[in-house]
Chains A and B, each alone.
Chain A
Amino acid sequence: MSGILILNGRVIDPANGLDEARDLLLCDGKIAAIEKPGSLKNAEVAETIDASGLVVAPGLVDVHVHLREPGQTYKETIATGTAAAAAGGFTTVVAMPNTIPVNDSVAGLEWMLAPERGSVVKLFAMPAATMGSMGATLTDFAALHKAGAVGFTDDGKPILEDAIMREALVAAARLGVPVSQHAEDTHLTGGCSMNYGTVAFRLGLRGMTVEAESRIVERDIRLLQEIENSEGLRPHLHVQHVSTGRALDAIREAKAQGLHVTCEAAPHHFTLTDEAIGDYDTNAKMNPPLRAEVDRQAVLAGLADGTVDCIATDHAPHAAHEKEQEFERAPNGITGLETALGLALRVLHRGQGLSLSKILALMSAAPAGIVSLSGRGSLSVGSFADIVIFDPAASWSFAAKQSRSKSKNTPFDGAPMLGRVHATISEGRIVFRQ
């Protein structure tokens, strides 16, 4: 006897437009049935979960995480990072390539995705777009795609050269996958450690302007247009962690023109501003940096009007000793997998009035669509049994020391959260239970 029966839950499946009481039967790692309450009660299963008062939704999908393996396992491993993902309700994560060495080869990709790494949830990867992420020579897109790449990125840095970015977009378009861009004109951000503005002035820190982000987004959009016009291809640009109104305006316009642009926003960018740096709290240091309130509002507006396609955490663990440094020396990045849902529900649902269905779409169906994952991000019968069960009304405080991640670098230690994950099921296995 195998399988799991989830009874009496409020099932929200944005991909199928469903938000009603349903029972779910999971068998052999797939969704076997989804029926009106009571219809499945006689199914013979190994386990029954009573989801009364809880939401049952597709497992969350994060297209932007750093798992630090290989090379920096003192910060995180694939096993610990994906355990944190499971605790946050994620059943699928996409690992970025800025490991040591950079994930730029088929051997590296296969090593990362091998079962021996102990991933707790479904792991995909975006290998580097250029060798060593040096921005000079494209990696072997076709071979990497065959080996499982769901997109290409030099994340951590942008692909700065126009010609290389153009080549990358063309090569990725032929394979039907996105180029995921860290939009930062690094010519404008040398020595900068936070957002440009009054807070940076007061703290005496050099600031990154909003133009440093928007200039690359605008350049990439021009390249898409050129490629569509000249090559008859339809390249897909995915803009990572958009943090400024200016970049969002460019994306909004590009979408209106019919170009294939998608983008993600990170929970910290829609929750905090650069004021959160306070007394040089390195746990509030990330790239792109926390912005001013006007940009936070622009990200909220982008989430509400559909300009922002999905929520991604940019989970970026760092060891305590690396963050216990002078602000300018400390590395960029915060952990995010265990706080994403709680912040999204607090800020977007309770604060902004976005529906649960909309938020879950931003965190499951939409990201799954961006990297074309079949059978994930929805509760359709036959799909993978990737499920999150959570209490949408639970208020709680996040405690960094209880994190499953190896690192505790978060500005949300002690922060209020809304919505608590009760269980996470990945391909029919319960991988987290509160």
Chain B
Amino acid sequence: MASMTQESQGSKKIFHYAPGSLLSVADLSVADVSAILTVTTRLEQMPHAQRVALLAGRRIALLFYESSTRTRTSFELAAKSLGATTTLVSDKSSSIEKGESLKDTGLTLRALGAECVILRHPSSGAPFVLARETGLPVLNAGDGMHEHPSQALLDARTMLMRLPGRNAAKANAKSLDGVTVVITGDILHSRVARSNALLLPQLGAKVLLCGPEQLLPETALGLGSGVEIVRDFDAALRRSQVAMMLRIQKERLAGLELDLADYIARYQLNGERLAAQAPDALVMHPGPMIRGLEIAGDVADGPNSAIELQVSNGLSVRSALLLRALNAGGFESVTV
């Protein structure tokens, strides 16, 4: 438990997680975001031989309790591109299936030499449990309906790369000044929406949340002052420079009645709507997409789409996060 301490302030406990952990974007200052983006750019420009030495001999565990393509592969490739050894533990082929607790699984990974754990988990808050119980740096690769902080960072980088006059290699509180981002769809169940709604206003953006009441309760306003709810997608789109579309998470709807035809009519981003309301808007989607539902295929593949860039930015940003988690290379010197 080297790096974790606990102190009690009145009736509230404050935990100090291992440095380099990323559990929520709320843990990041603008300076942290800037450092991560700088290292991301630097790593992309670094010669392979130099890059692969940065985490040579280091051990990273990927602990995935949920299936994932983009996040898992990009974390894994990121680790390997830095020379680290990775191991993947999934709930389907491990002692988790036999009922082993998250704490014990984490302690086992630590005993086997894992220096950092990347966790994807269906329960909100699971990365906090793992970080508390193991004292290891933990990277939250998506926890339940809570957050997906690395996704928000790669989304910010994508915006900074694609929107005119921005700098993707560093960030400050004004980096996204004048930018309005509409996040549309199943906000209630979306960890991507939460992380973006917390991060983007820190960089100066305005975030509009859009969707029907069942998928976007008024309680979402509690995310902060940079967030506004707009029910009319056309109106929201007209105000926006970025349209981030979200998948309807049918697996989490449990009991909610949703008329899909009506949803498509009101909230789908299709070519006609985009051309009419925001012809220049950047189109984003964290995936997986359901073409023909929240987004039309031609828009996903069209010139406004930054969806593939998001995926490749995932690899780069996650490389920087791994370097930061292991404080190797070291993270700070790479920023120079």
> CB within 8 Å of B: which residues of A?
190-191, 196-205, 271-272, 276, 278-281, 283, 321, 324-329, 397, 411-416
A373 nearest CB across to chain B (Å): 32
Is there an interface contact between A272 and B11, defined as CB atoms closer than 8 Å? yes
User: Which residues of B does A touch, CB under 8 Å?
Assistant: 7-15, 23, 101-103, 121, 123-126, 128-129, 133, 143-147, 188, 191, 194, 217, 219-223, 254-255
Partner of A198, one of B13, B14, B133, B221: B221
Are B124 and A204 in contact (CB-based, < 8 A)? yes
Q: Which residue on chain B has the smallest CB distance to residue A343?
A: B11
Please name all residues of chain B whose beta carbon is closer than 8 Å to the beta carbon of A271 when the two chains form the complex. 11
Report yes or no: B125 in contact with A326, Cβ–Cβ below 8 A: yes
Nearest first, the 8 closest Cβ-Cβ pairs linking A and B are A198-B222, A414-B8, A280-B125, A204-B146, A204-B145, A204-B124, A415-B11, A326-B123
Taking a contact as CB atoms under 8 Å apart, the answer to whether B13 and A281 are in contact is: yes
> Known interface pairs A200-B219, A201-B219, A326-B102. Does A278 touch B12 (Cβ–Cβ under 8 Å)?
yes
- Max chain A CB contacts within 10 Å: which of B12, B125, B145, B223? B125
Q: Which of B8, B143, B219 lies in contact with A196, CB distance below 8 A?
A: B219
Return the chain B residue nearest A197 by Cβ.
B219
Rounded to whole angstroms, the CA-CA distance of A413 and B217 in the bound complex is 34
Query: Do B254 and A191 have beta carbons less than 8 Å apart?
Result: yes
Which residues of chain A are within 8 angstroms of B217 by Cβ–Cβ distance?
201
DSSP majority for the A interface? loop
Residues of A within 8 A of B15 (CB): 279
Indicate if the CB atoms of B11 and A202 lie closer than 8 Å: no
Q: Are A197 and B222 in contact (CB under 8 A)?
A: yes
Pair A324/B133 contact, Cβ less than 8 Å: yes
List, sorted by A's number, 16 A–B pairs whose CB atoms are closer than 8 Å. A199-B222, A202-B194, A204-B124, A204-B143, A205-B145, A271-B11, A276-B12, A281-B13, A321-B101, A325-B102, A325-B103, A326-B129, A411-B13, A412-B11, A414-B13, A416-B10
Most central of B9, B13, B14 by chain A CB within 10 Å: B13
Residues of A contacting B125 in the complex (Cβ-Cβ under 8 angstroms): 203-205, 279-280, 326-328
Q: How far is the CA of A324 from the CA of B217 in the complex (A)?
A: 30
B223:A201 contact, CB within 8 angstroms: yes
Give Cα A191 to B125, complex, Å: 15
Chain B residues positioned under 8 Å from A326 (CB to CB): 102, 121, 123, 125-126, 129
Chain B nearest CB from A207 CB (Å) reads 8
* A197 / chain B contacts, CB cutoff of 8 Å: 219, 222
Q: Which residues of A contact B255 (CB under 8 A)?
A: 190
Q: Of B14, B191, B221, which one neighbours A204 at CB under 8 angstroms? A: B191
In the assembled complex, the CB of B51 is this many whole angstroms from the nearest CB of chain A, namely: 34
Q: Which residue of A lies closest to B188 (CB)?
A: A201
CA distance A123 to B9 in the complex (A): 35
Nearest residue, chain B, Cβ from A339: B11
The answer for the CA separation of A321 and B147 in the assembled complex, in Å, is: 25
User: A199: which B residues are within 8 A, CB to CB?
Assistant: 222
Contact at B8–A413, with CB atoms within 8 Å?
A: yes
Neighbouring A residues of B133 by C-beta, 8 Å: 324
Cβ-defined contact, B11 with A328, below 8 A: no
Write the nearest CB–CB distance from A360 to chain B, whole angstroms. Answer: 23
8 Å CB contact of B13 from A191, A204, A324, A413: A413
Q: What is the CA–CA distance of A272 and B12 in the complex, to the nearest angstrom?
A: 10
Bound Cα distance A251, B121 (Å): 42
* With contact pairs A204-B144, A204-B191, A413-B13 given, residues A328 and B129 touching in the complex (Cβ less than 8 Å): no
- Asked whether A324 lies within 8 Å of B221 as measured between CB atoms, the reply is no
Chain A hits for B129, CB < 8 A: 280, 324-327
Interface pair B194/A414, CB less than 8 Å apart: no
Q: Is the CB of B123 within 8 A of A328?
A: yes
Chain B residues whose C-beta falls within 8 Å of the C-beta of A203 in the assembled complex? 124-125, 146
Which residue of B13, B102, B144, B191 is within 8 Å of A278 (Cβ)?
A: B13
Enumerate chain A residues within 8 angstroms of B126, measured Cβ to Cβ: 326
Set of chain B residues within 8 Å of A196, measured between Cβ atoms:
219
**CA separation between A321 and B219, bound complex, in Å?**
32
Q: How far is the CA of A41 from the CA of B191 in the complex (A)?
A: 71
CB distance from A342 to the nearest CB of B (A): 11
Q: Across the interface, which residues of B come within 8 angstroms of A280, CB to CB?
A: 124-125, 128-129
In the docked arrangement, what's the CA distance between A321 and B217, Å?
Answer: 34
* CA–CA, A411 and B13, complex, Å: 8
Residue of A nearest to B23 (CB): A279
The listed residue (B11, B124, B143, B188) touching A276 by CB distance below 8 A is B11
Give the residue of B8, B13, B223 whose beta carbon is less than 8 angstroms from that of A202. B223
A281 to B6, CA, bound (A): 12
- The answer for the CA separation of A271 and B252 in the assembled complex, in Å, is 34
| B144 to chain A: closest residue by CB | A204
A279 closest partner in B (C-beta): B128
> 16 additional contacts, CB 8 Å, given A204-B143, A204-B194, A205-B146?
A197-B219, A201-B219, A204-B146, A279-B15, A280-B125, A325-B102, A325-B129, A327-B123, A327-B125, A328-B123, A328-B144, A411-B11, A413-B13, A414-B11, A415-B10, A415-B11
Chain A residues lying within 8 Å of B121, measured Cβ to Cβ, are: 326
Residues of A within 8 A of B223 (CB): 201-202
Kindly list chain A residues whose C-beta atoms are within 8 Å of the C-beta of B128: 279-280
In whole angstroms, how far apart are the Cα atoms of A201 and B224 in the complex? 12
Which of B123, B143, B188, B222 makes the CB contact (< 8 A) with A329?
B123
Please name the residue on chain A nearest to B123 by beta carbon. A326
User: Could you tell me the distance between the alpha carbons of A412 and B221 in the complex, rounded to whole angstroms?
Assistant: 30
The minimal Cβ–Cβ distance linking B140 to chain A, given in whole angstroms, is 11
Nearest CB of chain B from residue A354's CB, rounded to whole Å:
20
Residue of chain A at shortest CB distance from B26? A202
Which B residues touch A204, using CB under 8 A?
Answer: 124-125, 143-147, 191, 194
A281 to B11 alpha-carbon distance, docked (Å): 12
Closest to A415 in B: B11
Which residue of chain A lies nearest to B17 when distances are taken between CB atoms in the complex?
A279
Nearest B residue to A322, CB-CB: B101
A204 to B101, CA, bound (A): 21
